[in-house]
Structure 1
Amino acid sequence: MKIVGILGSPSATSRSAALLQHATASLRHVASSLHTISVRELPAEALLHAQFDHPLIRQALNEVNEAQVVLVSTPIYKAAYSGLLKSFLDLLPQDGLREKTVVPLATGGSIAHLLALDYALKPVLSALGARDILDPVFATDPQIPKHETEGYRLLPEVQERVARSLQTVIDRNDEFQRLEDAAREREALLSRLQAPQAGESTRWAPRDVRWST
């Protein structure tokens, strides 16, 4: 299956990044392709001014378009997902998540921020046409402590919740594989239909030839 992770954290290292990294690592064995889009690394001017023709913006949007599973990870600030994530989601077309399975991931200072997933993020994902929005995984700051040498590490209870949420994705691997195979067959058929046949003679447009007498 084709998987893409979208990281909406403005920090180079963060708990939401650690959460996304753990989730994508858990799916690596079933992924035919796996990409992570760190929105903070996209060119700021192109992002804010919606420059769809910028190569990096175009590449990121194309990765989302081709994905079957999208993981969205964000810190929660003041009961809202990050403005950085919003700026990227605003670039997606109205049906940018159509037929996709989406897994929301979020971190926040306290459990009170959990409601932001249901009342802020999930409605946006649904409006973008997400096929299925799986059970979100929310972790508080103490549940992803920072170690001096290892950086942010998920506590076992968070790892278990990630595993439960992603099990649905893993169970659908065969379905996603069939869809990928069907898409490749369609592309191959179109290529054969569009390619000129060997030995095919060139046809010239008829000319109106008039002989003078």
Structure 2
Amino acid sequence: MPKVVILSGSPNPVSRLNGMTDYAEEKLRALGWEVSALHAASLPAEDLVLARWDSPAIKAANKLIADADAVIVASPVYKASFTGVLKTYLDLLPQTGLEGKVILPLFIGGTIAHLLTIDYALKPVLSALYARHVSSGVYAVDSQIQKTDEGGLKIDEELLQRLDAAIASFAEATELFGSLRKPSQA
């Protein structure tokens, strides 16, 4: 059973981004995957800002990532990039922290103008962390996820279709890559 960590860079616990991450979690759990969540904003701010590599919270977060087969990196887009809290945490991952992992970016922003944020802001950082298997990500616009009167989130049909395709591709790549890493059982 593959292990995946959903690494969220949202500083807002009730973000529309949760619609995407919750949906991905539900789909992957239905496939029998073990899913863990890591909210960068929940890590101790002082540890993040002062780059405390030896902090117990940072060590635990890094171990969660190290033990995963795959990582979903999710963030709202602020000023044409992912959030600072996400970047601050990524700076504390070991240099090869994403080596051998399949990555799925899930981003959301206020306008389609930031569509290339995944390619131009996130992928270079992932590459520096030795991520070599980055699946096609999904960029959503805020208007594609509506907050309901009951406090839930409703994802529009077009975005659901793109999420389904991305999650299926991500799952397939993770399982394929995982089978290539395991020694033959001959």
In the superposition, the TM-score normalised over structure 2's length comes to 0.90
Q: How far 1:181 sits from its partner (Å)? A: 6.7
Contact kept in structure 2, 1:126 and 1:133, CA below 8 Å: no
Q: How far 1:16 sits from its partner (Å)? A: 1.5
Q: Which residue in the other structure is 1:53 paired with? A: 54
Query: For the residues of structure 1 that align with 2:126 and 2:178, how far apart are their CA atoms?
Result: 24
After the TM superposition, which residues 1-213 of structure 1 pair with which residues of structure 2 at under 5 Å, given as runs?
1-172=2-173, 174-175=175-176, 178=179
Contact kept in structure 1, 2:99 and 2:129, CA below 8 Å: yes
Contact kept in structure 2, 1:98 and 1:129, CA below 8 Å: yes
Relative distance call for 1:107 and 1:174 in structure 2 (3 A) is closer
Q: Which runs of 5+ in 1 are unaligned?
A: 186-213
| Paired residue total | 183
SS at match of 1:93: coil
Q: Which amino acid aligns with 1:128?
A: L
Contact kept in structure 1, 2:104 and 2:170, CA below 8 Å: no
- CA deviations over 1:134-185 (Å, ceiling 9, x no partner): 1110110110111121422211211111111111233246546647875xx9
- CA deviations over 1:71-122 (Å, ceiling 9, x no partner): 0000001111100110111011111111110000100001001121111111
Q: Calculate the aligned-residue CA RMSD, in Å.
A: 2.0
Q: Which runs of 5+ in 2 are unaligned?
A: none
Q: Which amino acid aligns with 1:11?
A: N
Query: For the residues of structure 1 that align with 2:122 and 2:177, how far apart are their CA atoms?
Result: 25
Contact kept in structure 1, 2:103 and 2:134, CA below 8 Å: yes
Tell which has more relative contact order, 1 or 2 (C-alpha 8 A, sep 6+).
Answer: 2
SS at match of 1:97: coil
Higher alpha-carbon Rg: 1
Q: What fraction of aligned residue pairs are identical, expressed as a percent?
A: 39
Query: For the residues of structure 2 that align with 1:91 and 1:69, how far apart are their CA atoms?
Result: 18
Contact kept in structure 2, 1:61 and 1:92, CA below 8 Å: yes
